[in-house]
């Protein structure tokens, strides 16, 4: 039986991690609220990398999705320049 995590290719996880890392490096923090969002994005990216190292691709993908969610919500609220 194929497990769910076997269906998430490492290349897909790395693709989304790389895109978000490219965006995050250019963010400027303009307020304490912005800093909170930035810290959450970085924490979820770190978690995603940790899970990749452990071979847990499902959790790695979930973590990068959460990182993107924090970024997009912050962007929609006008927190990032």
Residue 16 predicted with pLDDT over 90:
yes
What pLDDT shows up at residue 80? 82
- Whether 2 is covered by a domain: the verdict is no
- Whether 40 is covered by a domain: the verdict is yes
- Whether 48 is covered by a domain: the verdict is yes
pLDDT band at 42 (very low <50, low <70, confident <90, very high): very high
Q: What angle do CA 68, 17, 11 make, to 5 degrees?
A: 130
Number of domains in the chain: 1
- Whether 4 is covered by a domain: the verdict is no
- Whether 25 is covered by a domain: the verdict is yes
Residue 6 predicted with pLDDT over 70:
no
81/14: higher pLDDT: 14
- Whether 3 is covered by a domain: the verdict is no
Say which CATH number the domain at 29 has. Answer: 1.20.1270.90
3/21: higher pLDDT: 21
Domain containing residue 25: 16-76
- Whether 7 is covered by a domain: the verdict is no
pTM of the model: 0.86
Q: Which of 61, 34, 36, 33 is nearest to 47 (CA)?
A: 61
Q: What is the DSSP string of 20-63?
A: HHHHHTT--B-SHHHHHHHHHHHHHHHHHHHHHHHT-HHHHHHH
What pLDDT shows up at residue 62? 97
């Amino acid at each position: 039986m194929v497990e769910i995590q076997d269906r998430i290719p490492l290349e897909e996880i790395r693709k989304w991690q790389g895109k978000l890392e490219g965006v995050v490096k250019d963010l400027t923090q303009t307020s304490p609220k912005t800093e909170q969002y930035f810290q959450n994005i970085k924490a979820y990216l770190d978690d995603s990398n940790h899970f990749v190292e452990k071979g847990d691709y499902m959790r790695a993908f979930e973590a990068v999705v959460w990182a993107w969610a924090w970024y997009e919500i912050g962007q929609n609220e006008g927190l990032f320049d």
